Amino acid sequence: MTTPLLGTILNRGLARSPRARELCAQLAGRSVAVEARGLVRLRIMSDGSALAVARSEEAADATFSGGPVALARLAGPAAQQLLHEGAVDSSGDAQVARDFRELLQLLAPDPEEELSIWVGDVPAHQLGRLARAGLRLGARFTDTALANLAEYLGHERGEVVPRTEAEGFLRDVDALREDADRLQARLDLLRGRGTS
């Protein structure tokens, strides 16, 4: 996706959100860099009424850096968790970073809506349904493949402990630890009685 196209998509979202327009005005003259490590560094600037996006190494007021998938998820509801876990690093002016993060969340494009501009509503909706079905199928395939691999490695090859056995072992260890704690408490109590 070229940077002018990304700027156009973001600015289209400004028209739909009074809060986004307010943030854009507050951020006039400020910028944030979004760095997909090893791939690209984009600088998003606000002039108060619109956003401009450019590939740039110029300094920015705040910077978000991380892997491309984590950066894409930064515009979603799990943004704070991504920052907390370190999947995305934030540096520079913390308030500018928060304001730009909120602004980008408000402007996050709806892929189906953006596609409808190019191909029309009905084909975009059908392609969206197809993409969602594909994602569900891919997730189900991945879950099944991982379960089959775990079963193969656990039962057939004996390379890993099957989950049920590991859970049973951990329950037994916990019970043994509790029994040892109770025994130690009784011994301490008996020692206390014997010395008095």
pLDDT single digits (tens) 106-155: 877 666 666 666 677 777 677 778 877 887 888 888 888 888 887 787 77
Higher pLDDT, 181 or 6: 181
Write down the mean pLDDT value for the chain.
Answer: 80
b/e code 90-122 from CB counts within 10 Å (16+ = b): bebbeebbebbbebbebbeeeebbebbeeeeee
> 45 versus 7: which is more confidently predicted?
45
Least confident of 19-23, 58-62, 103-107, 172-176: 103-107
CA 39, CA 161: separation in Å to the nearest integer?
39
DSSP of 110-150, one letter per residue?
-HHHHHHHHH-HHHHHHHHHHHHHHHHHHHHHHHHHHHHHH
Least confident residue range of 8-12, 32-36, 54-58 = 8-12
Task: Specify the pTM.
Answer: 0.56
Q: Are 125 and 112 in contact (CB under 8 A)?
A: yes
pLDDT at residue number 104? 82
**Contact 32/100 with Cβ under 8 angstroms?**
yes
Largest CA distance in the chain: 90
pLDDT at residue 182 in the model = 92
Q: What is the pLDDT of residue 85?
A: 74
- pLDDT for position 1: 47
Note the pLDDT tens digit of each residue in 80-111. Answer: 776 777 778 888 888 888 888 888 888 776 66
In the chain the domains, ranked by start, together with CATH numbers, are: 3-109 (3.30.1050.10), 113-195 (no CATH)
pLDDT digits (tens, 9 = 90+) for 148-161: 887 787 777 777 77
Question: Where does residue 31 rank: exposed (0-12), middle (13-18), buried (19+ CB within 10 A)?
Answer: buried
The pLDDT, as a whole number, for residue 195 is 64
